[in-house]
Chain A
Amino acid sequence: DTGVSQDPRHKITKRGQNVTFRCDPISEHNRLYWYRQTLGQGPEFLTYFQNEAQLEKSRLLSDRFSAERPKGSFSTLEIQRTEQGDSAMYLCASSDTGTGLIYEQYFGPGTRLTVT
């Protein structure tokens, strides 16, 4: 396992369409995070999972966004009825866990979404 992978790398869609992105974390990592990055900004947190449980969601995650991690391995992020403001790079990250320990997050290459 060489790292976090994301698919697709690029997605162009028309406004109003639904899109789904996939993230495969580092295999032994229990935690999985989704972030969104727009041009000239740092990544902004969207949501994270520990195993299959979605533990936190940002206010940025409107009701058009949904994320799943059904078996505690890969995760999907779906955006329904896309809007031009959804155009961004969507980053996935994973990390290990341990009581009292602070682990760094490892990021995938991202999925660049363009809504026309």
Chain B
Amino acid sequence: AQSVAQPEDQVNVAEGNPLTVKCTYSVSGNPYLFWYVQYPNRGLQFLLKYITGDNLVKGSYGFEAEFNKSQTSFHLKKPSALVSDSALYFCAVRDMNYGGSQGNLIFGKGTKLSVKP
């Protein structure tokens, strides 16, 4: 079965320190991977995606993610965290069970990132 796992419910980081939010996946075939961020009372905002090519993907707000095929991981990273980065982060993979080229997404449970001053 296809799935996404975010092993940490919460990540605490001091402002200015690097942050990593972990994600692992299980799919058949090549994965199409996404990261979204959700602020309170707001919808999910797209951060970045991996489709093919360079394993290091750069996205919005200074975030980047590293695709590792051998470890089936797609960890979200940022070199220097900001207090304003505090939010709920979701990793997602495109569901390969459905047909067509634009299938729905399978999301992880989310990781709450807390950045303290």
Binding site for B on A (CB under 8 A): 4, 31, 33, 35, 40-45, 48, 50, 55-56, 58, 91, 93, 95, 97-110
CB of A100 within 8 A of CB of B46, answer: no
Interface of A, secondary structure class, is loop
CB of A91 within 8 A of CB of B107, answer: no
Contact partners of A102 in chain B: CB under 8 A = 32, 49, 51, 94, 101-102
CB of A95 within 8 A of CB of B102, answer: yes
Contact partners of B32 in chain A: CB under 8 A = 102
CB of B100 within 8 A of CB of A55, answer: yes
Partner of A33 from the list B34, B49, B104, B106 (CB cut-off 8 Å) is: B104
For the complex of A and B, 9 pairs with smallest distance between CB atoms: A42-B107, A45-B104, A107-B43, A107-B44, A109-B43, A104-B46, A102-B51, A43-B107, A102-B32
Contact partners of A44 in chain B: CB under 8 A = 107
CB of A97 within 8 A of CB of B101, answer: yes
Give the distance in Å from the alpha carbon of A77 to the alpha carbon of B41 in the complex: 20
Binding site for A on B (CB under 8 A): 4, 32, 34, 36, 41-46, 49, 51, 90, 92, 94-95, 98, 100-110
Give the distance in Å from the alpha carbon of A45 to the alpha carbon of B43 in the complex: 15
Give the distance in Å from the alpha carbon of A38 to the alpha carbon of B96 in the complex: 23
Contact partners of A98 in chain B: CB under 8 A = 101
Return the chain A residue nearest B49 by Cβ. Answer: A104
With A56-B98, A105-B46, A109-B41 given, is the CB distance from A41 to B104 under 8 Å?
no
Partner of A103 from the list B41, B90, B102, B107 (CB cut-off 8 Å) is: B102
CB of A43 within 8 A of CB of B102, answer: no
CB of A42 within 8 A of CB of B108, answer: yes
Give the distance in Å from the alpha carbon of A48 to the alpha carbon of B94 in the complex: 13
Contact partners of A42 in chain B: CB under 8 A = 4, 90, 92, 107-110
Known: A33-B104, A58-B104, A93-B44. 14 other contacts (CB 8 A): A4-B43, A43-B107, A48-B104, A55-B100, A91-B43, A91-B44, A99-B101, A102-B102, A104-B49, A106-B46, A107-B44, A107-B45, A108-B43, A109-B42
